[in-house]
Amino acid sequence: MTAMPEPVRAGSEELVLAFLAEAGDDYVSGEAISDKLGLSRAAVWKHVRALRAQGYRIEAAPARGYRLREIPDRLGELELRPLLNTHDVGQTLHWYEEVGSTNDVAKGLAEEGALHGEVVVAERQTAGRGRRGRSWSSPARRNVYLSAVLRPDLPPARAPELTLLASVAVCQAVRQAGVAAAGIKWPNDVLASGRKLAGVLTEMAAEVERVQWVVIGIGVNVNAAAADFPEELRGVATSLLLERGAPVPRALFAAAVLTALEEWLDRHADEGFGPVRAAWREMSDTLGREVRIRGGAAELTGVAEDIDEAGALLVRTATGLERVVAGDVELLRPA
């Protein structure tokens, strides 16, 4: 008689992995795993083989059991979920090896009813987009490319606050990752050594009084080496690797960004824009600098004095104080 194949329970692969991860450098016996998870020894072995096929290096030693030695450099659910310290953001993850743009995928999901906090993450983008119609260099498995669907209870006029909020969350995660001198160029570029490390692309759909959804797209150059950037970006872009001189585990970093994003969203929902504005000012690379603004209503030059309660940049020019709501900022020199 042929044995019936054992049904594979949903999620048991994740449980085997979590069990191995929890044991750290120690071996766990196949028996302990099967007892604890209620699986047959054959099923445990099947999951170990499936995990190996996905790039997990799992050692097996007679009489000792299994030991997890290496996890693959991926941002999938298996790698990211256990690191997330959130209630909504990233709890539903849509992972892709390759997409055109995670923002486009997230917008499609939002239109189909995706919930607040659903996140799209990709290892590579073939049509990564930046602000103002620019492209975003997105080489495979070097960096972090993700987009979060948000459903904030906000009037459309307040949506720009979320863009500044996202840059605060990213800058915080970048500083925690060891680039203490990172700062924000208005409205939401994260810079280090005067070069661009990360960007935020916010898109939304709204009714007259209420935002329907906002998609916050975040791109961070994590482990890109100079050669990974197109030649025209080499003088103006940087990465965590180039700034620290050592690579950063991408899953840990992505989890830190999503966790910081949720913390700031919660704070914004409870206390409004005030705390975000204060943090943005503290992290700013722009305030107090002489700046040139292009691409907005008019070109102007002056000293960036502050951001107002709506996140607009206030620039002191030769003719008075200008309120800038859109445009590209060029940092000229310290005032």
**Which parts of 113-142 interact with ligand BTN (CB under 6 A)?**
125, 128-131, 134, 136
Smallest distance from ligand BTN to CB 134, Å: 6
Q: Identify the residue among 117, 139, 183, 199 touching ligand BTN (CB under 6 A).
A: 199
Smallest distance from ligand BTN to CB 223, Å: 15
Q: Could you tell me how far CA 126 lies from the centroid of its own chain?
A: 18
Question: Site mask, ligand BTN, residues 85-114, x = CB under 6 A?
Answer: ----------------xxx-----------
Q: How many residues contact ligand BTN, by CB under 6 A?
A: 20
Smallest distance from ligand BTN to CB 88, Å: 19
CB neighbours of 220 closer than 8 A, spacing ≥ 6?
Answer: 143, 144, 170, 173, 174, 190, 197, 198, 240, 253, 257
Of 84 and 237, which CB lies nearer to ligand BTN in the complex structure? Answer: 237
Q: Does 163 interact with ligand BTN (rule: CB under 6 A)?
A: no
Contact 229, 165 (CB under 8 A): no
Q: Does 264 interact with ligand BTN (rule: CB under 6 A)?
A: no
Q: Identify the residue among 79, 123, 189, 262 touching ligand BTN (CB under 6 A).
A: 189
Q: Does 201 interact with ligand BTN (rule: CB under 6 A)?
A: yes
Smallest distance from ligand BTN to CB 215, Å: 9
- Long-range CB contact pairs, 188-191, < 8 A, 24+: 188/163, 188/164, 190/220, 191/285
Q: Identify the residue among 86, 137, 147, 284 touching ligand BTN (CB under 6 A).
A: 147
Which two structure tokens, joined as six digits, stand for 63? 């009489």
Of 17 and 257, which CB lies nearer to ligand BTN in the complex structure? Answer: 257
> Is 101 annotated as contributing to ligand binding?
yes
Contact 37, 2 (CB under 8 A): no
> Is 54 annotated as contributing to ligand binding?
no
Smallest distance from ligand BTN to CB 121, Å: 9
Q: Does 250 interact with ligand BTN (rule: CB under 6 A)?
A: no
**Binding positions for ligand BTN, rule: CB under 6 A:** 101-103, 125, 128-131, 134, 136, 145-147, 189, 199-201, 217-219
Query: Binding site: residue ranges?
Result: 101-103, 125, 129-131, 196
Query: Binding site for biotin: residue ranges?
Result: 101-103, 125, 129-131, 196
